[in-house]
Structure 1
């Protein structure tokens, strides 16, 4: 009889503890990390932002609970969201005109929060915001090859952003003429791009060595020929994870 009572008491205690833990938000499985909170900013010209960033990239990042992604094509919403996210993913080439938002993006970086800068955001988009390209990109692009096939070659296989990425892969895209700014933040090249018929080799995946945070630049990304292939998806997830300090 005593043993039966003890068993019942033990079961009650276990159930009560489970309910308390669940109420306190401890229902996440042991060893499973919280989703990385990402704000993805798109919008502008020359790209189908809704299809390839809002739909495809968001799906890539949210798969298996890896990240919780909010997409916006309205730059005026950035300021109100920065305090709640781990990574700012800029994929826009439309203007960010608000001075307070510009300063807040730098403050976000200075606070150690990570950035991922995608294809459109690696262009020299804003003549009135030279600080962006100089400090956060370390340069940028003012031109690209005609859309077509080229090879991407990993040059730093040991970096976490390149984990699981093939040593070389081919795709169709705009091969950006990504060039460094001698007066800008130094960069580290993780992968290069080269068209078969061309002699020039350009950085394709880079780390911008901003002293206070982690920034990844991904020059790939014009359309589905990049966003839907596994190497790109792996790079994107790795970039967000590394930028978040995970």
Structure 2
């Protein structure tokens, strides 16, 4: 589907170059549109796959970070989209302009991609980083001050692929953006649930608790009675 979209865009770009003839802004307009398509593909690429574990571990600590590289992609897309809009208006004002009323679709594409990049940029900046240690879960992001939620306050974790929701003992359910986490959110929820429910598991935070999940150890941190389950 992506390759087909690129092919259609290239054909449309070639047709636009031919149609604009001597218009010097026709080629930059097409280059901008192709660059927009490439950047959109980079931004929409998922930050993790099911089962991914991408964390930093040490004795007593697990750090799960969000991917921030997408911020650069979003800023680049906004810049290219803005430049493409400028190229469109310059091409339109050049003697001979751009033939056909349908050329306005190129402008709408650029404006739409600019807004999309701005929306995804907000998600990338606010996406949550987690640090698990003996105290609890430390939650932070580039625009959020670190918040500590102690283990005994956590009753349950829930949410979606894009949000982590913690059900706390005081009845509140704070929600944290999670879209760009490098680790599968289900794995992180399982870690938080296990450590909040079993104090013994908190003593194994680090490589050991990850190993417990892989070998299907009991939630309280004890090892399985049978042979470990092979990792898929």
The reply to whether TM is greater than 0.5 is: no
Greater relative contact order (CA < 8 Å, ≥ 6 in sequence): 2
TM-score tier, shorter chain, comes to: under 0.3
Compare the two structures and name the one with the higher helix fraction: 2
TM-score by length of 1: 0.24
Choose 1 or 2 for highest CA Rg: 2
TM-score by length of 2: 0.25
